[in-house]
Structure 1
């Protein structure tokens, strides 16, 4: 955390110096807004690679909100970060169609479903940069329990493997428990995502499909009752044994699986990863991409569209991305991140040919081109909404309290409280 804070401070300071230094030459220096600290290194690499276009990086925590408050500020030319595809492509971003016709990129370079997420109608406004997947980790000594021919694990497999791993005393006290959904809030939410539950915000109102929510509630309750006896048993077990980081939980041999994200797993040291095996969560032949997928676009009102295109075409190149990864590792730029901008690259070839060179554990584990399923578009406040509003009701549902109206009322209260603040 301290490294990230320091990097952000340095990035902001450097951006201020760069912008001040090039105020007399604004046509040549582009401004890139980002909420991802990795882009400072990428921009530095780009600037050193050529003399035609120079870029200054500005760190912004909420990119879309910042666009609504540009008065008195230098407008950005390029934006790169999470939660950009929030239904505002036409309002904020220029068309990127020329990047395919004039800059040598091809749509087949990208994961098709992720590329579609940056479109509005037939126009490409945003390009995917990186993504992460839900990931299940197990102790490497337990991998024989699991299907060895697959890099994926489904709901049904999780339940089957977990039940076979479970062990109880004569007094029905669990000494081993494979996995319980309520152990991880992100996985509870993933149950909704996998079952196509979507949330829409309209005029400060949270809307969703109640029958689908009820279906997910019943699914979670059935899982708990048939695999792990009761929600109390799951909580008691977690209290006794699951108080360590996800990778250490499975090394205790008390639980079979721990759920995490691909970036958290692949940010571990090589020694730590060597002790575990891992599987991408899959449902109906696809793996839902986590909602903070990083995307990049050109600001609609910039006067430097052609120069911004140069950066994007450079960035979306296998050799460029290999140089980005190599630079971070060779210079020991340890920011506790994985891959490109903290995730798998949106470029299929980078994942298949480059990442396994630097991350040996990914050999034969790279997600298939058809596997990633793009997330629904959400605003930058979604992580807070998910944590404070969605998750508590999911946890209550596992205990049998199936309140489907609570999401909406809690969101209204949250909105009103934030307005008062």
Structure 2
């Protein structure tokens, strides 16, 4: 009798254990059956957004894979991911790889009026939105707050920068003791100025790398297209800064004083203006920022965007579109972006990142509320939607093109004022030499 009771008790416990195991395996199987969407991105911090999304829902799972250049990868791959969030996505060559996102507006109730109009429009291919903006960065001009106590303008046009810079510059005994501004101090700033002036540098879809074009050829046969008139006008404008000061004098000034951060040069009165990306400025310690003021340099009444505008898209032929759409819609909710900010804050990442996407959000409400809460000084000079232009449609290989060619050409042309005599010809000649040693990554993309 006693053995029988013991047997029953053991059998009952074994049954309960088996039942619990069945429940566990069933739950595990259900989790494994949940559609998984793979995201390619050049933003490692996006994994925080994916973790929050996965935690909040049990229907879909988002996996994040880092790619240095997702836009280039999508051109070559035969197995696209479910979603891409990255830079350099706006060339037609890349945009043709993506499917329409219009159902985010019609079925997922994403309000297009929540986004900056120019950024939203940039993602259209024909009449369809194949890409949507996620984040962007822009150039700032920083100055000493005490120098601009009476300044009321939020934007600085080239002529204002030129005049105030000239008035600030001091030359004593043939040497510069203080200098207003020079685009030579940051060639990345100069590059973005060119893009803002609609110089182009858009990839030529018809180009075939069968031979290096001769310098006399029509540019329609070149791999990258540019606007000759805008290029010449823009370079002449950049060269007009400090045109009355010798290049050697400017170099001596830089050699003497540029052993400290640019903002320190501003605070010590050595320079009037210093160019910085917004994402860099807002990473400065609060004790530094409260001594500075920023304004937006403007070209044709528009701010200057950097090359780091990021867009989201679903590649054609990709799997798990439903999960990708759900995650995309989740990302565009202001309260969800606030959760990302808070999670990054709890992980002490905010000193190294400006918000969820290391820049301004494409959702206006996020910048007007969340960004403002973390950076109160933003309220003194906020972004104006009408002042934001469409990002330039630069090639997916822009980083290599910029580093290996454009940066060096700009440095050479801006160090030689006589080069303004034949700007376009000099550009063609330098570009021709560059194409002669063009790396395999460019050829393989076509």
Alignment TM-score, normalising by the size of structure 1: 0.87
Report what 1:8 is aligned to: none
Q: Does the alignment pair 1:83 with 2:88?
A: yes
Classify the secondary structure of the residue corresponding to 1:373: coil
**Alignment counterpart, residue 152 of structure 2, candidates 124, 149, 153:** 149
Q: How does 1:1-16 map to 2 (within 5 A)?
A: none
**Alignment counterpart, residue 65 of structure 1, candidates 69, 72, 77:** 72
Report what 2:200 is aligned to: 198
Report what 2:226 is aligned to: 208
1:374 Cα offset (Å): 1.8
CA RMSD in angstroms, aligned pairs only: 2.4
**Alignment counterpart, residue 169 of structure 2, candidates 166, 183, 200:** 166
Tell me which structure has the larger Cα radius of gyration.
2
Kept in 1: contact 2:409–2:430 (CA 8 A): no
CA distance 1:369–1:25, change in 2 (3 Å): same
Q: How does 1:164-243 map to 2 (within 5 A)?
A: 164-169=167-172, 171-202=173-204, 203=207, 205=222, 206-226=224-244, 229-243=245-259
Q: Does the alignment pair 1:101 with 2:106?
A: yes
Aligned partners of 1:354 and 1:134: how far apart in 2?
Answer: 21
Report what 2:325 is aligned to: 309
- Identify unmatched segments of 5+ residues in structure 2: 1-27, 210-221, 442-446
**Alignment counterpart, residue 48 of structure 1, candidates 47, 55, 76:** 55
Kept in 2: contact 1:22–1:29 (CA 8 A): no
Which is worse superposed, 410-419 or 278-287? 410-419
Aligned partners of 2:160 and 2:54: how far apart in 1?
Answer: 48
1:321 Cα offset (Å): 0.9
Q: How does 1:240-319 map to 2 (within 5 A)?
A: 240-319=256-335
Kept in 2: contact 1:288–1:374 (CA 8 A): no
Kept in 1: contact 2:203–2:395 (CA 8 A): no
Report what 1:18 is aligned to: none
1:122 Cα offset (Å): 0.8
CA distance 1:316–1:238, change in 2 (3 Å): same
Q: Deviations over 1:219-249 (max 9, x none)?
A: 23332224xx232322221121123222222
1:392 Cα offset (Å): 2.8
1:277 Cα offset (Å): 1.3
Aligned partners of 1:122 and 1:360: how far apart in 2?
Answer: 39
CA distance 1:192–1:66, change in 2 (3 Å): closer
Q: How does 1:405-420 map to 2 (within 5 A)?
A: 405-419=425-439
Classify the secondary structure of the residue corresponding to 1:225: coil
**Alignment counterpart, residue 33 of structure 1, candidates 40, 45, 56:** 40
CA distance 1:244–1:97, change in 2 (3 Å): same
Which is worse superposed, 78-87 or 398-407? 398-407
Report what 1:387 is aligned to: 403
Kept in 2: contact 1:137–1:260 (CA 8 A): yes
Alignment TM-score, normalising by the size of structure 2: 0.82
CA distance 1:173–1:127, change in 2 (3 Å): same
